Amino acid sequence: MEKFNFEIVAKSQGSKARAGILHTPHGDIKTPAFIPVGTKATVKALTPEEVKDTGAQAVLANTYHLYLQPGNEIIKKAGGLHNFMNWHGPVVTDSGGFQVFSLGVALGKGLSKVTKKNEEMMLSHEVDEDLETLKAKIDNSGVMFRSHIDGSAHYFTPEKSMEIQHDLGADIIFAFDECTSPLESKHYQIESLHRTHKWAEDSLKHHVEKGKYKIQALYGIVQGGRFEDLRKESAEAIKKIEVDGIGFAGFGIGGSFAKEDMSDAVRWVTDILPEEKPRHLLGIGEPDDMRKAIMEGIDTFDCVAPTRMARNGTLYGKDGERMNMLNAKYKDDFSLIDDSCECYTCKSYSKAYLSHLFRADEMLAGTLASIHNVNYLVKLVDDIREEIIRSR
Amino acid sequence: MEKFNFEIVAKSQGSKARAGILHTPHGDIKTPAFIPVGTKATVKALTPEEVKDTGAQAVLANTYHLYLQPGNEIIKKAGGLHNFMNWHGPVVTDSGGFQVFSLGVALGKGLSKVTKKNEEMMLSHEVDEDLETLKAKIDNSGVMFRSHIDGSAHYFTPEKSMEIQHDLGADIIFAFDECTSPLESKHYQIESLHRTHKWAEDSLKHHVEKGKYKIQALYGIVQGGRFEDLRKESAEAIKKIEVDGIGFAGFGIGGSFAKEDMSDAVRWVTDILPEEKPRHLLGIGEPDDMRKAIMEGIDTFDCVAPTRMARNGTLYGKDGERMNMLNAKYKDDFSLIDDSCECYTCKSYSKAYLSHLFRADEMLAGTLASIHNVNYLVKLVDDIREEIIRSR
């Protein structure tokens, strides 16, 4: 991998935090960094220029969604995701594993009810035990699931996930993994973990065979639920995997974390993972969570929260408090969202205007709110980077 | 009116077309000009910068909608529409008359059914005769109507329309009028027309009394349905109205035109209206219609069509043809919408990407499509302006 390189520029004294630069074929990412999610090849409600103006350095798109719509062949024909979506900075794609288990549904089960329930579960970060019997159908080779769009049946394997991600052409891609529920038994977690390790190796093998490691950095994913021994075993296993002398270019830490377990899970594995390689914490974007994870040595984050919250009318205030613009008190509040914020929204629009746009169900509401929330999280992580550099 | 002034810079040889400059307190509008509609203080799906980048010189907001939501007092407190919506170019507001009759409904009638029907009628430009009995309740002083949002009852008079428009603070505002259906009997058209003339005088009187004529230009509206004698009578009446030596700063031509009647109605009245004052054709934005109306001496237009079409997936092609991005053939069409167009959308996005965004119901779809359609109409009218200047 010549074009991909991770450089650590500063290490914190009192923690495992580090500041670095991820060099990718489409530009650098200064780390730690928050990466907004553009699920279907668009960060919802924002143009690429608006995304860039928030300070975001990269976007993460979802393999599962793009495989189903418009299909990876279309994006390949367009010359890859960068060209297709007109984002010429670094792009990340996930493996599709998480969505296959959380959005896709098992064969022969009612679709709309299940996906609705799954979505609520994802949003609440809770797990509905009734759903345990409705999981996608897993065997050691891959996962059979149904599309959340039209119910059609699909089969993902590590090779399939790699093929799709090669077509999408992101700078950073992920090995196919099984993302278990934290409520699973230890017995099942062990079985699943060994499958995830085998799939990691299969993913890397396919990636190396196709020669794509020269232009796309493949990250292995550490799983293991809430069990310290499994998390450590997973980190050891994933870091050792090599094909033709080539290992993973970086590491993802996956899992549906209970909020209180996140720091532990990260600490256990960053003690083991090689220091010189980048680490991405999948699906985490809460300010406090990111701060803690950075102290434990995480370099990059992605999360739909800031844009989803934004579309629902909730914006981050100056001190991280959440303000819902549908609250009656904002109707005639002509102050800015955050007068110290330098984002486009905070330079020109009052809470009263945002309140009006949300009440009137205007599309500009989601745009202005997303700009602010993404800017808020990007800036928060950038500020932590500056602290690390100052404190080295 | 010191800050408002209309200057004719060129007259066409073979027609009544003219090129001019409308000087307003918030900047100039080179005419003829197409003005996009920002109904609820936002051109749907676009930031003010995106609107400006289409070449649009002004926006028109709807008095009826803003009175109901967020309310004119809120906008007044925000310092007027320009500040509230962060559009610092010229702003136009209509009188609310058209919406009171087309969206508002008569007292005591089922609301949702009626408004749905009204909307379909407006979209199809046809009139449902069942609805004739459900019209808003008109007396010689004003109109009683119900909100399409919550069914609450409201009463608009010329003075009320002026008060609201004074609070909104647009550069160009309109006298309150009754917009009749073209299917009304001549008897009713005559009755309505005399009311509209009285309301025009009442509007101007209130406007002059409040001293607002110094900062907001009030246009009188010519009505008269499809009857030549009534249209001419209306133009004569409206042009003569003066209060304390002050007449209307410009003229609107209103009515729910059948497409084939539009040119006639415009020709009849522009022969009568004073040449030195600007003329706005309300709610018209079809390319052919605008071309014809400019030849008859119209200076400005407003219409929701380009942005509404855009949100439904339909874009103007190079030769004015309409392309619906939901058509299967665009799924893998990697060409631009119009390779000769210089709008933001045509510089960077393929039909395949737009097709994907519309299929995936992504908000960026409406944004990109609206940018192109508004740009298309603005450019079309700007090009006609250049022709007029060349042919003088």
The tens digit of pLDDT for each residue in A17-65 reads: 999 999 999 999 999 999 999 999 999 999 999 999 999 999 999 999 9
pLDDT band at B363 (very low <50, low <70, confident <90, very high): very high
Q: Are A158 and A176 in contact (CB under 8 A)?
A: yes
DSSP B274-334: -TTS-EEETT---HHHHHHHHHTT--EEEESHHHHHHHTTEEE-TTS-EEETTSGGGTT--
pLDDT at site B183 = 78
pLDDT at B122 > cutoff 80: no
| Percent of residues, chain B, with pLDDT higher than 90 | 80
DSSP B222-246: E--TT-HHHHHHHHHHHHH-EETTE
User: Are β-strands A322-324 and A314-316 bridged in parallel, bridged antiparallel, or unpaired?
Assistant: antiparallel
pLDDT band at B182 (very low <50, low <70, confident <90, very high): confident
A42 contacts in B (CB within 8 Å)? 357, 362, 364
Mean pLDDT of B80-86: 98
**Domain extent listing, chain A:** 62-303, 305-392
Q: Are B59 and B35 in contact (CB under 8 A)?
A: yes
pLDDT at A114 > cutoff 50: no
Mean pLDDT of A84-99: 94
pLDDT at site B252 = 98
Q: What is the DSSP letter of B335?
A: S
Query: Which of A70, A334, A350 shows the shortest C-beta gap to B356?
Result: A70
Which segment, A171-175, B152-156, B186-190, is predicted with the most confidence on average? A171-175
User: In angstroms, rounded to a whole number, what is the distance separating the alpha carbons of residues B264 and B253?
Assistant: 12
B367 contacts in A (CB within 8 Å)? 45, 47, 363, 367
Q: Are A301 and A35 in contact (CB under 8 A)?
A: yes
For B218, the 3-state DSSP assignment is strand
pLDDT at site A110 = 34
Mean pLDDT of A333-357: 97
- Which has more confidence, B149 or B323? B323
Is the CB of A3 inside 8 Å of chain B's CB atoms? no
Q: Which of A133-137, A292-296, B67-71, B242-246 has the lowest mean pLDDT?
A: A133-137
pLDDT at B238 > cutoff 90: yes
Write out pLDDT tens, residues B299-318: 999 999 999 999 999 999 99
Closest of A340, A370, A365 to residue A353, by C-alpha: A365
Report residue A15 as tokens: 């923690």
pLDDT band at B369 (very low <50, low <70, confident <90, very high): very high
pLDDT at site A183 = 78
Is the CB of A123 inside 8 Å of chain B's CB atoms? no
Mean pLDDT of A257-276: 91
User: In angstroms, rounded to a whole number, what is the distance separating the alpha carbons of residues B244 and B241?
Assistant: 10
Please report, to the nearest 10 degrees, the dihedral formed by the alpha carbons of residues A147, A149, A152, A154 taken in order: -30
- Strand partners of residue A243: A246
Closest of A241, A170, A178 to residue A26, by C-alpha: A170
Mean pLDDT of A239-258: 93
Chain B interface mutation, best of A364, A367, A371, A372, highest count of B Cβ atoms under 10 Å? A364
Name the helix (H) or strand (E) containing B61: strand B59-61
Is B94 one of the catalytic residues? yes
Q: What HEC string does chain A produce? A: CCCCEEEEEEECCCCCCEEEEEEECCEEEEECEEEEECCCCCCCCCCHHHHHHCCCCCEEECHHHHHHCCCHHHHHHCCCHHHHHCCCCCEEECCCHHHHHHCCECCCCCHHHHHHHHHHHHHHCCCCHHHHHHCCEECCCCEEEECCCCCCEEEECHHHHHHHHHHHCCCEEECCCCCCCCCCCHHHHHHHHHHHHHHHHHHHHHHHHCCHHHCCEEEEEECCCCCHHHHHHHHHHHHHCEECCEECCEEEECCCCCHHHHHHHHHHHHCCCCCCCCEEECCCCCHHHHHHHHHCCCCEEEECHHHHHHHCCEEECCCCCEEECCCHHHCCCCCECCCCCCCHHHHHCEHHHHHHHHHCCCHHHHHHHHHHHHHHHHHHHHHHHHHHHHHC
pLDDT band at B184 (very low <50, low <70, confident <90, very high): confident
pLDDT at B208 > cutoff 80: yes
Nearest CA of chain B to the CA of A69: how many Å? 7
CATH of the structural domain B5-31+62-303, one choice from 3.40.50.300, 3.20.20.105, 3.30.1380.10, 3.40.50.1170 = 3.20.20.105
Half-sphere exposure of B157 (CA within 13 A, CB side): 9
CB atoms within 10 A of CB A112: 10
Write out pLDDT tens, residues A153-194: 899 999 999 999 999 999 999 999 998 877 788 999 999 999
CATH of the structural domain A62-303, one choice from 3.30.200.210, 3.30.70.100, 3.20.20.105, 3.90.25.10 = 3.20.20.105
Is the CB of A37 inside 8 Å of chain B's CB atoms? no
Statement: the pTM of the whole predicted model exceeds 0.90: yes
Q: Are A95 and A105 in contact (CB under 8 A)?
A: no
pLDDT at site B151 = 81
Torsion sign, CA atoms B207, B249, B175, A357: negative
Query: Which of A74, A348, A367 shows the shortest C-beta gap to B86?
Result: A348
Query: Which of B74, B356, B359 shows the shortest C-beta gap to A331?
Result: B74
pLDDT at A111 > cutoff 80: no
Contact flag A78-B334 (C-beta cutoff 8 Å): yes
Write out pLDDT tens, residues B8-26: 999 998 899 999 999 999 9
pLDDT at site A118 = 52
Give the burial class of A97: count Cβ atoms within 10 A of its Cβ; 0-12 exposed, 13-18 middle, 19 or more buried.
Answer: buried
Half-sphere exposure of B110 (CA within 13 A, CB side): 6
Name the helix (H) or strand (E) containing B60: strand B59-61
Average per-residue pLDDT for chain B: 91
Is the CB of A117 inside 8 Å of chain B's CB atoms? no
pLDDT at B324 > cutoff 90: yes
